[in-house]
Amino acid sequence: MAGTLYLVATPIGNLQDVTHRALEVLRTVDLIACEDTRHTLKLLNHFRISNRLISYHEHNELERAEELADRLVAGASIAIVSDAGTPGICDPAFRIVQRAIEVGATVVPIPGAVAFINAVIASGISTDSIFFGGFLPSKKGDRRKRLEEIRDIPATLVLYETPHRIAKSLVDCFEVLGDRRAAVARELTKLHEETARGRLSELAERYGKESVKGEIVLVIERAALVEPKRETPTPRSISKRVKELEKEGVDGKTALKKAAKEFGLSKSEAYRFLELSK
Ligand code: SAM
């Protein structure tokens, strides 16, 4: 019988955020596949865990996925960890998960920290619907194109950022998305944890002046609904609107045309409503 692949979330800074279950899995699996063995050793040493480690990162992902799949076929239990947070979230793991499923292994997530979830819940921006976009492209043109693609998504937008790019990205976000409310969450769970909240223009100004260090998540509120809610067209509401426009000096024909457009009606429908109101 094929073995089990555990996707183990580890802390995003504060080691106290590791779960009991994560430690138990890391202690008992046959092998731990990690991004950087030195990094994972710090976690294991802190919790006095000793186990076999193998490195698994974006440059050897394909060959390692094959190797790990072979071990799973032979019945091994393997844990995947990334340097921080949840494997597979802007970190390698996807390829091995695919291969593990193909070879009939059991795939088990061991939940824990994800940076973007923690940034959103502390941002004060709506959590009803969330779009996670990972990292924006590093080139300005590509970044703006990507922002245009996601501009109208009806959800809070969440992006990962780097300290040397945050100022430029905030300017692009402001110019492409408009002056929305946003939050810059930095160094979550760590000593210098900070969440800066404000309009994109304010944050762009602040980070344009101030250089920052550490890891960053950018949270941006969804696009405002562009179309104001339309009033239901009735003979009375159409007639009222036409009269208002006429009072403003608009001629009768144009007023009818304008009112029809505002209520989402054709000109003839609006005319019929107007006649009915008499
Ligand atoms: N797998 C991780 C997760 O579950 O969130 C993400 C890994 S990705 C390579 C690294 C990025 O995650 C950083 O550049 C930053 O945008 C975000 N990140 C990770 N830890 C963070 C922290 N403590 N505070 C803020 N952002 C963090």
Domain boundary among 112, 132, 162: 112
The radius of gyration computed from the CA coordinates of the chain, to the nearest angstrom, equals 27
pLDDT in tens, the chain (278 residues): 999 999 999 999 999 999 999 999 999 999 999 999 999 999 999 999 999 999 998 888 889 999 999 999 999 999 999 999 999 999 999 999 999 999 999 999 999 999 999 999 999 999 999 999 999 999 999 999 999 999 999 999 999 999 999 999 999 999 999 999 999 999 999 999 999 999 999 999 999 999 999 999 999 999 985 445 567 788 888 888 899 888 878 888 888 988 888 888 888 888 888 887 77
Binding-site residues, ligand 1, Cβ < 6 A: 12-13, 82, 84-86, 89-91, 114-116, 160-162, 185-190, 215-217
230, part of any domain? no
Name which residue sits closest to atom 11 of ligand 1, judged by CA.
Answer: 160
Q: What is the CATH number of the domain that holds 45?
A: 3.40.1010.10
Residue count of the chain, please give it. Answer: 278
Q: How many angstroms does the Cα of residue 105 sit away from the middle of ligand 1?
A: 28
Domain boundary among 112, 132, 151: 112
Q: What is the CATH number of the domain that holds 182?
A: 3.30.950.10
Q: Going edge to edge, which strands form the sheet with 4-8?
A: 53-55, 31-34, 77-81, 4-8, 106-110
- Looking at the structure, tell me whether residues 261 and 219 fall in a common domain: no
- Looking at the structure, tell me whether residues 149 and 87 fall in a common domain: no
User: Can you give the residue range of the structural domain that contains 271?
Assistant: 235-276
User: Position of tokens 């088990």?
Assistant: 108
Q: How many angstroms does the Cα of residue 207 sit away from the middle of ligand 1?
A: 19
Ligand 1 pocket: which of 10, 12, 35, 158 to mutate (most atoms within 8 A of CB): 12
Domain boundary among 97, 112, 127: 112
Rounded Cα distance, 92 and 101, in Å: 16
Residue type, 35: E
- Looking at the structure, tell me whether residues 102 and 140 fall in a common domain: no
Name which residue sits closest to atom 13 of ligand 1, judged by CA.
Answer: 215
pLDDT at residue 265 in the model: 84
- Looking at the structure, tell me whether residues 184 and 248 fall in a common domain: no
Q: How many angstroms does the Cα of residue 136 sit away from the middle of ligand 1?
A: 13
pLDDT at residue 46 in the model: 97
- Domain tally, the chain: 3
**Residue 249 falls in which region: left (phi positive, over 0), alpha (psi -120 to 50) or beta:** left
- Looking at the structure, tell me whether residues 74 and 136 fall in a common domain: no
Atom of ligand 1 nearest to the CA of 160: 16
Q: How many angstroms does the Cα of residue 43 sit away from the middle of ligand 1?
A: 17
Q: How many angstroms does the Cα of residue 52 sit away from the middle of ligand 1?
A: 25
98, part of any domain? yes
Q: How many angstroms does the Cα of residue 217 sit away from the middle of ligand 1?
A: 7
Rounded Cα distance, 254 and 209, in Å: 51
Residue type, 261: K
pLDDT at residue 148 in the model: 97
Name which residue sits closest to atom 10 of ligand 1, judged by CA.
Answer: 90
- Looking at the structure, tell me whether residues 182 and 239 fall in a common domain: no
pLDDT at residue 225 in the model: 59
Non-local CB neighbours of 185 within 8 Å, separated by 6+ positions = 115, 118, 119, 122, 123, 194, 195, 216, 217, 218, 219
pLDDT at residue 52 in the model: 97
- Looking at the structure, tell me whether residues 24 and 103 fall in a common domain: yes
